[in-house]
C-alpha cells in the first residue's frame, strides 16, 4: 500500500511538473504574440500586403478582434493557475469575466471579418467555424461555472483556450504563406484550418485526460 501511494505521489508530481513547463511555454507565447499584436492598434504596422484589402475594408472589426483577442491571450493562461484560483478567487473570477467578454465579442468580430478572408470560401469557412466554436465553447464554459459544474467548466475552458491559442499558431504559420506571394491564397486557405483544428484536437485529448 505504501509503495502504491508513493508511486502515485511520484506520478502526480511528474504530471504537475509536465503541466508547469507546458503552461510556461503557452504563457510566454501567448504574452509575446498578444503584446506584439498591439502594434496594429498603435498604427505602427499594417497587415501583410495580401491581407491588406480585408484589413482596410473591415478596419473596425479587425481592431476589435485584435484588441480583444490580445486580452483573451493575456488572461486565458491564468485561468489554469491553481495557485491563483485558490489564493485569489476574486482575481480568478475577474480575469475569467475579461476572458469571456474578450472571446465572445472578439469572436463576433472575427465572424464578421471572416467573409473577406484571402483564400476564398475555404479560408472563410475555416475562420467562420473557428469563430462560432470559440464563442460557443466559451459561453458553455461560463454556464458550467455559473451552475457550479466546475469539472465541466475546466474541460470547456481548455477547449475554449485551445481555440484562443489559434491567434498564436496563425502567426507562427503565416510566414509559410509569405514565402511565395503567388501561392499565398492557397497556403492561407490551409492555414485557416491548420491554425485551430490541431489545437482543438490537443485540447480534447487534454480535457479527456483530466
Residue 3, pLDDT score = 47
Geometric angle at alpha carbon 176, from 192 and 72, rounded to 5°: 50
- pTM value is 0.86
User: How far, in Å, CA of 166 to CA of 1, rounded?
Assistant: 45
Number of alpha carbons in the 13 Å side-chain half-sphere of residue 48? 15
Note the pLDDT tens digit of each residue in 142-198: 999 999 999 999 999 999 999 999 999 999 999 988 888 888 899 999 999 999 999
Residue 5, pLDDT score = 52
Instruction: Give how far Cα 107 sits from Cα of 13, 64, 172, 210, Å.
Output: 37, 10, 20, 27
Residue 19, pLDDT score = 59
Q: What is the mean pLDDT of residues 10-15?
A: 44
Indicate the pLDDT class of residue 21, thresholds 50, 70 and 90: confident
Choose between 196 and 86: higher pLDDT: 196
Q: From the CB of residue 68, how many other CB atoms can be counted at a distance below 10 Å?
A: 22
Q: What is the mean pLDDT of residues 36-43?
A: 80
Domain ranges of the chain: 25-209
Kind and range of the H or E run holding 165: none
Kind and range of the H or E run holding 51: none
Alpha helix (H) residue ranges in 58-119: 59-75, 82-87, 89-114
Amino acid at each position: 500500500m505504501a509503495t502504491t501511494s508513493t508511486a502515485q505521489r511520484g506520478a502526480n508530481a511528474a504530471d504537475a511538473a509536465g503541466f508547469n513547463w507546458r503552461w510556461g511555454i503557452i504563457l510566454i507565447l501567448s504574452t509575446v504574440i498578444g503584446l506584439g499584436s498591439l502594434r496594429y492598434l498603435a498604427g505602427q504596422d499594417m497587415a501583410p500586403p495580401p491581407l491588406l484589402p480585408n484589413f482596410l475594408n473591415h478596419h473596425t472589426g479587425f481592431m476589435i478582434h485584435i484588441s480583444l483577442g490580445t486580452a483573451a491571450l493575456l488572461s486565458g493562461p491564468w485561468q489554469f493557475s491553481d495557485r491563483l484560483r485558490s489564493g485569489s478567487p476574486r482575481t480568478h473570477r475577474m480575469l475569467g469575466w475579461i476572458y469571456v467578454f474578450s472571446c465572445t465579442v472578439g469572436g463576433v468580430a472575427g465572424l464578421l471579418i471572416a467573409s473577406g478572408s484571402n483564400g476564398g470560401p475555404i479560408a472563410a469557412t475555416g475562420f467562420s467555424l473557428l469563430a462560432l466554436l470559440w464563442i460557443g465553447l466559451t459561453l458553455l464554459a461560463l454556464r458550467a461555472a455559473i451552475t457550479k459544474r466546475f469539472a465541466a467548466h475546466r474541460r470547456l475552458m481548455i477547449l475554449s483556450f485551445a481555440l484562443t491559442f489559434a491567434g498564436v499558431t496563425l502567426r507562427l504559420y503565416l510566414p509559410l504563406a509569405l514565402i511565395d506571394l503567388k501561392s499565398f491564397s492557397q497556403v492561407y486557405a490551409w492555414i485557416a484550418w491548420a491554425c485551430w483544428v490541431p489545437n482543438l484536437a490537443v485540447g480534447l485529448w487534454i480535457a479527456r485526460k483530466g
